[in-house]
Chains A and B, each alone.
Chain A
């Protein structure tokens, strides 16, 4: 079995590198080890989304039964998205679960993830807090997601108001990531975030 998996990954590797998306810097894969069981993927945040300008790194683990079972993929770059855990980077996407087909490739997976960034599915959430914000306060969600893109994925849009609130909490001895999570979860309400952090 391992034979097919390695052989497939080698071929796919070449396919992705040759593909036009790589030429446009939209997707990328790299080997982590020589065994072809662990890879590193990268996708660019799609234009006209809060993720625009960001570069998101993915961990890709290839099971022995690949391609008959899907690869295990999670975000290494922290991201604010209803279908991706803001804590672990775990992804809720049908093609990585029961809708996987052996004929799919790493390229289709990366492109599907890019599509997921453009079109979230808040009714099938991975991160309930984010999904609730996405539905109840869409403007707040967009600002928060863009802020996270700037903070973790090298996005260009910084938000001075958010930054100053994080600094306020940092002055109180809170790690800036913990402060960002708390503020994001409470729609950037400094008082409630503080309350939660110190309770």
Chain B
């Protein structure tokens, strides 16, 4: 039989090729017709930009605003930075009440300054060097910071009317920039929070090295305040991701291949939303000691009680010693998971908990948390173990090809299956925080039903991937399709972005 296998496989694969080609073309047609933004709940359009591209993009915004409102680009930057780069919003607010907008953006003081000229009260142009406005008659005045008397022409100030000498401004900017502050630099007067715009800072800043630093920090602040931009969180990666519609979806850096949620920059977490995953991760970090202790790495076989260490991703376990098949999660018989309703992902709440004592409620709360945490942690571990499985698969493929059972091409489907398995398990892992924070409702029941379905199919797929011995891929591809369909169905129904 084994000698025949090579031949029969060859026939098979020939057939497969033709079949697959035919199938693929049909698939392509489908994709052309269906709008992926509607059919794929994870569909997300983004671009990976370099610093120059981002600078160009920001400058376009600045130019639009400054030409529209007839203000300096530097002032336009302050307005855009304080208003999340919403150009149209700033324009309409400016037309509605320019003075209010300038006060809210901390460009102009809420009350006109008492000792300054009336002409600069408009504030749309920060008077860089204002020769008037000082009380001293003999053109000599004391700078309130260095308390040195100087000629009026060395004094300057912002729209708030507080005047200081050039040297003090320069020193103030140096100290602030060294501390990493750029767009947040304010006037030096007590309780004055008027921003110093870029041109004001750069004109008065004397050290050239600090000018570069200022611009670097300011660029960083601008990207951070821009809702459509996000720095790639990869270490030392200069890429900035641009998304026209900012959503909590997966973006992948084209340079360092980091994959993360566009909205919060953390690991991608569908179907859970950004604030929930943050809450969950903080909780896990706080409670990890207890949870780690309880969910140890090994479990005993429920039948023969031999100690079993999990070394594969699949939760469908078979004891090496007694061949008993069981579920790693609930330690129940696996038979119940295959045909009957798969339920071990669902947490069964005690219906009478409200009448129990505080201690019992605390115990119940911990039990509930541990239920979800164990599953979350378990899938995370499974994902890591499946990375190893991928390596094993690769060496197994090599072995098979050497043994002349199928060609290298014939076995590639197994790698695809492993890749899909990782993708599905990743989504499944992130369904647990979602379920943990859901209030008991019919919607939660639906969610946990779909979650259970997905989990069952993933375990089936995992089992099949680890045990694939032939190039007969029909069964496995069928399982891949089912698992991916379950995953997208769940995301379509519950991913809210």
A102 touches B188 (CB 8 A): yes
Q: How far is the CB of B164 from chain A (nearest CB, A)?
A: 8
Number of A-B contacts (CB under 8 A): 44
Set of chain A residues within 8 Å of B497, measured between Cβ atoms: none
Highest count of chain A CB atoms <10 Å: which of B147, B162, B186: B147
What secondary structure prevails in chain A residues at the interface with B?
loop
Whether the pair A102, B172 counts as a contact (CB closer than 8 A) is yes
A65 CA to B186 CA in the complex, in Å? 17
B144 at the interface (CB under 8 A from A): yes
Q: Residues of A contacting B164 with CB < 8 Å?
A: 102-103
On whether the beta carbons of A103 and B147 are closer than 8 Å, the reply is no
Known A101-B191, A103-B144: A1·B171 in contact at CB below 8 Å: yes
Q: Which of A4, A101, A104 counts the most chain B CB atoms within 10 A?
A: A101
Q: What are the residues of chain A within 8 A of B186 when measuring CB–CB?
A: 101
Query: Chain A nearest CB: distance from B364 CB in Å?
Result: 30
Determine the residue in chain A with the shortest Cβ distance to B192.
Answer: A101
A8 to B144, CA, bound (A): 10
- Interchain CB contact under 8 A, A11 and B191: no
Q: Is B96 an interface residue (CB 8 A)?
A: no
Decide if B172 touches A8 in the complex (CB within 8 Å). Answer: no
Contact, CB under 8 Å: B146 / A68: no
Cβ contact within 8 Å between B190 and A108: yes
Set A8, A65, A103, A108: member contacting B188, Cβ < 8 A: A103
The answer to the question of B468 belonging to the interface, with a C-beta cut-off of 8 Å to chain A, is: no
| Given A69-B175, A108-B190, A102 and B148 contact (CB-CB distance below 8 Å) | no
B482 within 8 A of A: no
Residue contact A8 to B145, C-beta cutoff 8 Å? yes
A196 beta carbon closer than 8 Å to chain B: no
> Does A125 lie at the interface of the complex (its beta carbon under 8 Å from any beta carbon of B)?
no
Known contacts A4-B146, A8-B146: A103-B171 contact under CB 8 Å: no
* Chain A residues within 8 Å of B168, by CB: 4, 102
In the complex, A67 has a CB within 8 A of chain B:
yes
Find chain B residues with CB under 8 A from A8 CB: 145-147
A55 shortest CB reach to chain B, Å? 27
- B145 and A67 within 8 A (CB): yes
The B147-202 residues at the A interface (CB cut-off 8 A) are: 147-148, 162, 164, 168, 171-172, 174-176, 186-192
- Chain A residue contacts of B192, Cβ below 8 A: 101
Rounded to whole Å, the gap between the CB of A188 and the closest CB of chain B is 31
Contact in complex: A103, B146 (CB < 8 Å)? no
Q: A101-B188, A101-B190, A103-B190 are in contact. Are A68 and B171 (CB under 8 A)?
A: yes
By the criterion CB–CB under 8 Å, are B175 and A68 in contact? yes
Nearest B residue to A11 by beta-carbon distance? Answer: B147
Q: A104–B148 contact, CB under 8 A?
A: no
> Which residues of A4-58 are within 8 A (CB) of B?
4, 7-8, 11-12
Q: Decide: A102 and B145 in contact? CB cutoff 8 A.
A: yes
Produce 1/0 per residue, A146-188, CB < 8 A to B.
Answer: 0000000000000000000000000000000000000000000
| Docked complex Cα distance between A11 and B147 (Å) | 7
Q: List 20 A-B contacts (CB under 8 A).
A: A1-B171, A4-B168, A7-B146, A7-B148, A8-B147, A12-B147, A65-B171, A65-B175, A68-B145, A68-B171, A68-B172, A68-B175, A68-B176, A101-B188, A101-B190, A101-B192, A102-B172, A103-B162, A103-B164, A103-B189
The 4 closest A-B pairs by CB, nearest first: A102-B188, A68-B175, A11-B147, A101-B190
13 more CB-based (< 8 A) A-B contacts, given A8-B145, A103-B145: A4-B145, A4-B146, A4-B171, A7-B147, A8-B146, A8-B147, A65-B175, A68-B175, A68-B176, A101-B192, A102-B145, A102-B168, A103-B162
